[in-house]
Amino acid sequence: MTQPAIAAPVAPPRASGGDPASAGVLGRARAHWAPLTVGALTLLAFVLRYVLVHDSLLGDEMFMFQIVHGHSLGEALHIVRETEKTPPLFFILVWAAAKLGDPTVWLRAPSLVFGTALVPLTYALGLRTVGRTAGVLGAAMITLAPFAIFYGTEARAYGALACFSALSTLCLLWALDSGRRRAWAAYAIAVVAVAFTHYMGIFVLLVQALWAFWVHRDRLRVLLVVHGLIVLAFLPWLSSFRLQERHSGAEAGRIAQLRTPSLHYLGDITLRMELGHPFARVTQVPGQVPIIVALAVIAIAAAAALLRMVRRGTPGPRLASPVLLLGLTAVASPVGVGLASLRPDKSFMLARNLSSSLIALALIVAWLLVTLRRRAAVPAVAAVLVVLLIGTVRTLQAPFRRSNYRAAAAFIDARARPGDPVVQTFFLPGRGPLGKMLTVNFKKPHPYYQSSAADGAWARGRRSGRVFVAFALPGFFKSVRHVPPVAGPHSDFVRVTDAQYPGMERVVVGEYVYRGR
């Protein structure tokens, strides 16, 4: 009589999106070490971002300051609708935060909160998709990423966009797994938050929705209801969106004039978003050699993953895999921005417009690294973290920080007498709020003139006895060490002292005394 075959023991199924690193790369730390590590990373992320909170307001932050400072909430929302290119949610948060204290500092509080929250959120999404080890590594990458550090204190919506986009992905997976109403409610709220934070989040939202409708057709009814409610929530803002399209189109035209959209340019801003600084070349931050090392390591990890799939005869993650969803959201913004920039004379190719893919891309890179063999994974992970650490250190150095208009204003406050005029000139046009980056930091009143009205300043200086001149120059003008001497009709003034303050824009201040006194 034939003996019945004994079934081989079956391994317990992994949780959806289980830990691919559990097969052995980077050590198999006990589960409780991961939350402790993420907690330490979150604290480090807060410290790195807090260092920049008191930097002077610069660039687009001045538009935020103009909108929220000295206006009621209704007035602020009207200005957003009429002049801005983004939805109102982040402006509401900044308006409320600016009421808590010095608005030049407190308007950055929401970004600090979102920028810090990115770290535990990265781990949570990683745990749900690519596993514990990759989740911790992804959280470490976001902690040290210069791009994430910068927008963790920038009084604009990009840190919040990254946060809400990742949260919407996490809530979608939770809702599909559990089917609970509160999970679907959380997903709907997260999607609405993305939609009301920045229009560039649309690419990730579309990819998520299309994936859910295709893979989970058995949930068609609930998906239709939830997304119908999301559309209804956005309808009240639709007319404002149409109005803002004109503002967005004008900016898109200016971007296209500065640099022609191309695959090379798209790759450049993607690298800046993940490994570099939004306003520096990757050859500067983290640097030419570090960026080559990081790209080589990531390329090797990707090639190794592809080779494993070929050997196993598997085409890659299953369609329903959370890893696939994560990969789709990682490329959604770069691909979406690239396609949107194909229109003639229109471009949205700025690194900040890719923010909604920031966390997903970091987790995909982390996943590739930790799935290497142990001997390769340890140095690969170390190399990428060292490259990011180099970028972090450079980000905190003066040439890559916001210009120190606060110190320049303090210099003038200390030396100017009542009635002494201040004239500011700009390498680039300083119209509107951009012309007030110096004046918002004054502690004393000074007659203030922009370069277009400089003659009035010199005429007033002949009465008061002196004039202060502030030049704002891009950081690459290393040859300009001092304010140039005054020539022509104002040569009756002599420069007695000057001071310079480094930053992404170099601020140089000169003090001129009237010879007739």
Separation of alpha carbons 122 and 138, rounded Å: 6
Q: Give the list of residues 6+ apart from residue 335 with CB closer than 8 angstroms, or none.
A: 203
Specify the pLDDT at position 383. 98
pLDDT at 475 over 70: no
pLDDT at 395 over 50: yes
pLDDT band at 17 (very low <50, low <70, confident <90, very high): very low
Lowest mean pLDDT among 254-263, 302-311, 437-446: 254-263
Which pair of structure tokens corresponds to residue 188?
A: 């709907």
Separation of alpha carbons 178 and 310, rounded Å: 34
Which pLDDT tens digit goes with each residue over 276-333? 999 999 999 999 999 999 999 999 999 999 998 888 876 667 888 999 999 999 999 9
pLDDT at 26 over 50: no
Q: Give the list of residues 6+ apart from residue 121 with CB closer than 8 angstroms, or none.
A: 163, 166, 167, 170, 359
Specify the pLDDT at position 173. 97
pLDDT band at 7 (very low <50, low <70, confident <90, very high): very low
Specify the pLDDT at position 250. 66
pLDDT at 97 over 90: yes
- Calculate mean pLDDT across residues 485-510: 82
Separation of alpha carbons 438 and 448, rounded Å: 10
pLDDT band at 15 (very low <50, low <70, confident <90, very high): very low
Q: Read off the pTM.
A: 0.90
Long-range contacts of 487-490 (CB under 8 A, 24+ apart): 489/455, 489/458, 490/458
Specify the pLDDT at position 8. 37
pLDDT at 389 over 60: yes
Share of the chain above pLDDT 90, in %: 72
Specify the pLDDT at position 121. 98
198 to each of 24, 108, 122, 202, 427, how far by Cα in Å?
40, 17, 20, 8, 30
Which pLDDT tens digit goes with each residue over 484-495? 566 556 788 988
Looking at every residue in the chain, the average pLDDT score rounds to: 89
Q: pLDDT higher for 119 or 398?
A: 119
